[in-house]
Amino acid sequence: MLRKIKKASENNLLTEIVSVNECYTKPSRASKLKDSISETLLLFLYIYRELSEDHDRFSYLNYMSDLLAFYIDMELKASRKSKEDHDKICGRITSCLYVYLGMKIIDTSRIKHCDIILKRNLYMPLSEHSVEHLLDTLIKIQFMCRSYHHILDPIITKIIRDIPIHPESSIMYIRYFFIYRLWRKINENVAVKNQITAAAMVSLGPLPSTFSSSILEDVLPKVPKNQPNSTKTLLQHKFNIKKHCEMFAQYCRKSGESVYQDGTSIDSSSRINSNTLSLCKR
C-alpha cells in the first residue's frame, strides 16, 4: 500500500518538474519542489494514521526518511536565493524530522511550523526505531556542507542533545560516528571541531569488537596500517565522508529491517564516565 502511494506521489512530483537533477542546481526549482514534497509528507502521515493497527511501520519510516532527506536538500538549495530567515528554515526542518519520524517533542512551544499536524493530533507515537531513522535521514542529506552551516548546525546540535548519549549497539555506533563526522564537516572553526571530537570520544567510547566483516570492509573507512583501528583514529582520519555515508545507506537498504533490529550490544564498562557531553552545553 505504502509502496503504491510512494510511487504515485513520485510520479505527481515529476510531472510538475521534469528534471529532479535540476533541483539540485537551481534554487528556484528546488523551492517549487520542496513545497510539493511537504504536501506529500503530510499526505503520507494522514494515510498512515488511517491504516489498521497491523500497518508496516518499518516501511513507513523508510519511505519517510528518504523523502525527508530529499525535502531537506531542497530546503537547503532553495535557501540560497530565499530571503527567509535561517532560523525559520531550521525550525521547519527540525519540526518535520521530529513529527514525521515519531520522535518525542519535549518542548512543543518550539514547534511553530507544523501546527496543522499538532492541532489535528497527527503526531506520531515514539517508536523504538525513530532514532535510527532520524540519524539515517541526516546521513542521506546530499548538501551536508559548510555552505549551509547556519541551518544544519542547530539541527544537529539539538538532535545530539535529544538522543541517548551513547550508542547501544554496534550498528548505532556507526550512525553516531557518521553524525559526529558530518557535524565536524559543516563547522569551519577549529575550536568547535575539537569540541565535537571530544564529545564524540565520550559518546562513542572504544571501537566495538562485534563488527561484521561486511561493516569493516564496506562501510567503515580503512585506517592506515601503522595506526590502531580505534575510535580516536577514525575520528581524526581523513576520508571521503559523503562516499562512506552513501555506502552505509546502501548497506541499510540491502540489510532491510534486520539492520534496525541489531541486538549486538556494546559493553559500556570501558566507556568514559560522563553524564553529559560538554559540547551540548555550549
Rounded CA gap, 171 and 258, in Å? 11
Q: Is the pLDDT of residue 277 over 80?
A: no
Between the alpha carbon of residue 184 and those of residues 75, 85, 117, 145, 197, the distances in Å are 21, 24, 33, 10, 8
Q: Is the pLDDT of residue 105 over 80?
A: no
**Percentage with pLDDT > 70 across the chain:** 73
Rounded CA gap, 143 and 78, in Å? 11
At residue 86, the pLDDT reads 92
Q: Would you say the C-alpha torsion 248, 249, 253, 258 has a positive or negative sign?
A: positive
Q: Specify the higher pLDDT residue, 98 or 282.
A: 98
Mean of pLDDT values over 58-63: 86
At residue 49, the pLDDT reads 78
Angle at 83 between CA 77 and CA 86, to 5 degrees: 70
Mean of pLDDT values over 15-31: 72
Chain segment 142-154, per-residue pLDDT in tens:
999 999 999 999 9
**Percentage with pLDDT > 90 across the chain:** 39
At residue 2, the pLDDT reads 52
Rounded CA gap, 181 and 174, in Å? 11
42, three cell numbers: 503530510
Mean of pLDDT values over 203-213: 86
At residue 252, the pLDDT reads 87
pLDDT band at 262 (very low <50, low <70, confident <90, very high): low
Q: Is the pLDDT of residue 17 over 70?
A: no
At residue 279, the pLDDT reads 47
Contacts of 112 (CB under 8 A, 6+ apart): 91, 95
At residue 244, the pLDDT reads 94
Mean of pLDDT values over 172-197: 96
What's the whole-number average pLDDT of the chain? Answer: 79
Mean of pLDDT values over 50-68: 81
Chain segment 224-249, per-residue pLDDT in tens:
777 777 898 999 889 999 999 999 99
Mean of pLDDT values over 267-282: 48
At residue 278, the pLDDT reads 46
Mean of pLDDT values over 118-126: 45
* Phi, psi dihedral angles at 169 (to 5 degrees): -145, 170
pLDDT band at 9 (very low <50, low <70, confident <90, very high): low
pLDDT band at 19 (very low <50, low <70, confident <90, very high): low
Q: Is the pLDDT of residue 106 over 60?
A: no
